[in-house]
Each structure stands twice: as structure tokens, then as C-alpha cells.
Chains A and B, each alone.
Chain A
Amino acid sequence: AQTVTQSQPEMSVQEAETVTLSCTYDTSESNYYLFWYKQPPSRQMILVIRQEAYKQQNATENRFSVNFQKAAKSFSLKISDSQLGDTAMYFCAFMKSGGTYKYIFGTGTRLKVLA
């Protein structure tokens, strides 16, 4: 069975600084997807970034980028130029390809951006 671990329950960062959230996962699958979702205090989860395991290039979306290390089973999220609106819970999720379409979520990291 797959597991996703987010070892940082809470983090804080000064506005405009850079922060990295860690995520590790355990799987025997070779093809899968990884995601970072953001859940602000209003509760709606928003997709931040996705990575396909067969792609070696790290995904980037504006200020958000990932460091995907397939051999190490690591998928960290880097937020550059942090903004107050980045304050939220961040969840890492795993989904194996090939039919289940089932996300396995980590327990989340609560990020607070300080003014």
C-alpha cells in the first residue's frame, strides 16, 4: 500500500522569503502522479502543482516549484517570494496511474506567512 508522509506539521516564513515543504512517499509503482494542494482557511482545496513520475523535469507554476527525486521518493514544494495569501494547509498527494484514480494524501503542513 502507498503512504505519503509530510514530516512538518507547521512552518512559518517571512513575507517575500522562500520556504520548502517536504513530502516523501512509499510505493512500488513506477508510474504515478504527485500533487500539491493548498487549503486556505476557507477550506476549498486548490491544486498548486502536479508532477508525472515519468517526467524528469521538475514542474513549475509561477512562484511554486517542486524538487522531484524519484529514487529517493521525495517530492518537496518550494514557494518563492512568499505572500500573505500563501497562508494555508498544504497537502501532498499520490495517485498511481493505471486505473484506481485514488489519491493518497499526507497529513498536511500548516504554513503561515508572516508580515
Chain B
Amino acid sequence: EAGVVQSPRYKIIEKKQPVAFWCNPISGHNTLYWYLQNLGQGPELLIRYENEEAVDDSQLPKDRFSAERLKGVDSTLKIQPAELGDSAVYLCASSLGVTSGMADTQYFGPGTRLTVL
């Protein structure tokens, strides 16, 4: 079974430029998460989707960050415009979903390392 897929793995951009990250969750996983991981820190949740609905986006900086999960499968996280402080690893994770009884266990993708110059 394929795991969580993310692309690109690495991205280098100039500040003020836009950038987008893509995530494909494990097949059948209804819940999708985007995390931000700064160097030497644990991941911090940005947004959680249940199917196509964003049910927790309280930590998403909405002035420059946006996300979507059309059709409740793949998801895209966008930053526009990027700032120097956005340099970090962006992780995507998925889990079976709240009705499964196994919603607690999250499976992570390899992440996208963003460098803003």
C-alpha cells in the first residue's frame, strides 16, 4: 500500500514569490493534516480536513496561507507571498477518519523542505 505522497520534496524561492505544495493521502483516509516543522522542533498543526471540509484551521496564517482539498482526496497548501520566516518543512499526514475508530493514528509523508531566500 502506498504511503502519503508529497511533492515537491524541495523548493527554493525568492521572498514574495508564491509557492504550492501537494499531498496525496493514503487511499481511504478521510482525514488529512498539514503541519509545519521548524528546524529542531516538533510538527505544529496548520489545518485539518475531514473529507473536503476544513474542520480546524485555527493555526493557519490566513493572510498568506491557503489550502484546499477538492473532492476530499488530494490537497494543496499555498503560500502567497512567501516570507523568509516561512522556511521550514511542510508535512502532510492522513488518518482513517473520525468514524473509523482509528482516527488517532496519523501517517506522515516525507515532507517538502521550503527555503525562502
Contact = CB atoms under 8 A, between A and B. Distances in A.
A108 B42 contact: yes
A44 B43 contact: no
A46 B3 CA distance: 11
Interface string A1-29: 00010000000000000000000000000
Interface string B34-59: 00000011111100100000001000
Given A91-B42, A108-B42, A103 B106 contact: yes
A47 to B, nearest CB: 6
B107 A100 contact: no
State which size class the interface on A falls in.
Answer: 20 to 34
Contacts of A113: none
A2 B40 CA distance: 20
Contacts of B108: 37, 44-46
Given A97-B104, A102-B56, 14 more contacts: A33-B104, A37-B108, A44-B110, A44-B111, A100-B56, A101-B31, A101-B95, A101-B103, A101-B104, A103-B106, A105-B42, A106-B42, A107-B41, A108-B42
9 contacts: A43-B110, A43-B113, A44-B110, A45-B91, A45-B93, A47-B106, A91-B43, A101-B56, A107-B41
